[in-house]
């Protein structure tokens, strides 16, 4: 092993210090929102809350989870995330695999057509007219089908299959009597967990955070996702209305601040809990195409 020089140690120390600063800059806002959601709003506004909660209280979360529309929004967002991720993953993985096969007729024109959509799109009005013409307006499918497949994810999946599934594996399976469908389901899919995890995570996060599609296509309150309900609470100041049992207007405003911080935590928690389970696949899958060979 080569002996490390002083410059190497200085460089390592600089990198460690830089990464620690970046880590703190990323994690501290999340931590601050978490402790502010259970602290006295007056202490938060005066700057007393910065490391530990002050006057710990669950009243904000109690008001959040007693509000019926929060649970309805959670349910809708969960449905959109699960169905949307399932449909998008199935379409992206099957499409990416098909385009990775050298024996696919017209593979190049199809790929060029997909790439074309990355630079030129129909726009909002044609998209709205299309969704309305298909009868999907103000329905679950308006949140799931439009945008279910993206060119970027197709390219990622195609690159993964080209680099990870050798042609010799297909030839060997064909000699053993396999066909295209059995090869795909029995061999390709078990070897594709990294890219499947990446696509699931991309689409689940996109559907969970989906706001604009719901704002355009969904008008029924029973179908609105969590993000639209949060917007209504935060922007139209409905947080104080959730404090109906409090007599003082000042107390309502005070507790409304707790609700706003708590809503951020409540909306972010599902994705924060999902990522650790997919992290080991996500790190491998996201590096697809960065190293050849």
In a domain, 246, yes or no: no
| Mean pLDDT of the region 143-156 | 89
- Count Cβ atoms within 10 A of the Cβ of residue 226 and give its class: 0-12 exposed, 13-18 middle, 19 or more buried: buried
In a domain, 78, yes or no: yes
In a domain, 45, yes or no: no
Helices (H), 37-67: 41-45, 59-65
SS (H, E, C) 254-280: HHHHHHHHHHHHHHHHHHHHHHHHHHH
Write the CB contacts of 235 (distance below 8 Å, at least 6 apart in sequence): none
| Mean pLDDT of the region 6-18 | 88
In a domain, 44, yes or no: no
Distance CA 293, CA 277 (A): 28
Is the separation of the CB atoms in 60 and 262 below 8 Å? yes
Instruction: Work out how many domains the chain is built from and give that number.
Output: 1
Determine what percent of the chain falls in helix, strand and coil, rounding each to the nearest 5.
75, 0, 25
Evaluate if residue 242 carries a pLDDT over 60: no
Evaluate if residue 3 carries a pLDDT over 80: no
- CATH number for the domain spanning 211: value is 1.10.3720.10
In a domain, 20, yes or no: no
SS (H, E, C) 175-218: HCCCCHHHHHHHHHHHHHHHHHHHHHHHHHHHHHCCCHHHHHHC
Model confidence at 83, pLDDT cuts 50, 70, 90, reads very high
In a domain, 180, yes or no: yes
State which H helix or E strand residue 66 sits in: none
Pick 284 or 62 by higher pLDDT: 62
Evaluate if residue 214 carries a pLDDT over 70: yes
Residue 113: give the domain boundaries. Answer: 67-236
C-alpha triplet 72, 77, 78: angle, nearest 5°: 100
Lowest mean pLDDT across 87-96, 103-112, 279-288: 279-288
In a domain, 85, yes or no: yes
In a domain, 48, yes or no: no
Please give the pLDDT value at position 236: 60
């Amino acid at each position: 092993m080569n002996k490390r020089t002083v410059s190497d140690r200085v460089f390592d120390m600089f990198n460690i210090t830089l990464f620690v600063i970046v880590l703190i800059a990323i994690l501290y806002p999340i931590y601050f929102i978490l402790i502010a959601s259970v602290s006295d709003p007056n202490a938060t506004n005066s700057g007393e809350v910065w490391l530990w909660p002050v006057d710990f209280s669950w009243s904000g979360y109690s008001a959040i989870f007693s509000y019926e529309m929060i649970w309805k929004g959670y349910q809708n967002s969960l449905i959109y995330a699960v169905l949307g991720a399932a449909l998008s993953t199935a379409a992206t993985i099957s499409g990416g695999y098909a385009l990775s096969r050298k024996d696919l007729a017209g593979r190049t024109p199809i790929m060029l057509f997909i790439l074309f959509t990355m630079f030129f799109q129909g726009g909002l009005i044609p998209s709205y007219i299309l969704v309305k013409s298909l009868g999907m307006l103000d329905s679950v499918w308006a949140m799931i089908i439009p945008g279910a497949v993206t060119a970027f994810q197709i390219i990622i999946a195609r690159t993964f299959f080209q680099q990870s599934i050798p042609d010799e594996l297909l030839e060997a399976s064909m000699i053993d009597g396999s066909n295209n469908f059995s090869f795909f389901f029995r061999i390709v899919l078990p070897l594709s967990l990294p890219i499947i995890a990446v696509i699931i995570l991309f689409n689940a996060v996109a559907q969970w955070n989906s706001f604009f599609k719901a704002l355009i296509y969904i008008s029924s309150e029973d179908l609105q996702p969590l993000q639209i309900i949060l917007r209504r609470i935060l922007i139209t100041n409905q947080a104080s209305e959730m404090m109906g049992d409090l007599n003082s207007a000042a107390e309502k405003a005070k507790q409304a601040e707790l609700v706003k911080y708590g809503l951020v935590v409540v909306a972010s928690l599902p994705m924060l809990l999902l990522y650790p389970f997919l992290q080991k696949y996500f790190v491998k899958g996201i590096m697809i195409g960065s190293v050849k060979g």
